[in-house]
Amino acid sequence: MQSNSSMRTPLGRVRGLGSAKSGTGHFWLQRVTAVSNLILTVIFIGVVIALVGRPYPAAVALLSNPCVAILMLLFILSACIHMRLGMQVVIEDYVHAEGPKVLAVMANTFFAIAVGAASVYAVLKLSFGG
């Protein structure tokens, strides 16, 4: 007779999912966005430094370059996803009551979307000659 020390069901062992059902995907997405944030933040800081002391038309001219605009949009996307994932972990770890936890996770998602949408709008407006 085979000794089975696992407490997981046969279906659970086949699917390979933990108790949260999506922890591995969440973990890897957070790591991927962290790495992309390292690269894109350096580029973002370079753009900001290039614009220090320059007039508004210089910002419009720089962001009118499609490569710069796309890199800024990627920075916004990556940062907002990473921000949402990180706050979700904090909420899930420290908010114990189920109702407030669900509301906080929803508010966190809406906040990340609002910040991302406003930032994307600003970059697009500037990049199209705003």
Q: Which residue has the higher pLDDT, 58 or 2?
A: 58
* pLDDT at site 48: 96
Backbone angles phi, psi at 6, to 5 degrees: -80, 140
pTM tops 0.85: no
Domain 24-127 has CATH 1.20.1300.10: yes
String of DSSP letters for 63-109: HTSHHHHHHHHHHHHHHHHHHHHHHHHHHHHH--SHHHHHHHHHHHH
Averaged pLDDT for residues 77-82: 98
The residue ranges of every structural domain in the chain are 24-127
Helix (H, G, I), strand (E, B) or coil at 120: helix
Q: What gap in Å lies between CA 82 and CA 31, rounded to an integer?
A: 9
Portion of the chain with pLDDT greater than 70, in percent = 83
Residue at token pair 């696992």: 6
* pLDDT at site 89: 94
Residue 8 has pLDDT above 60, yes or no: yes
Ramachandran class of 129: left when φ > 0, alpha when ψ lies in -120 to 50, beta otherwise: left
Q: Which of 11-15, 29-33, 108-112 has the lowest mean pLDDT?
A: 11-15
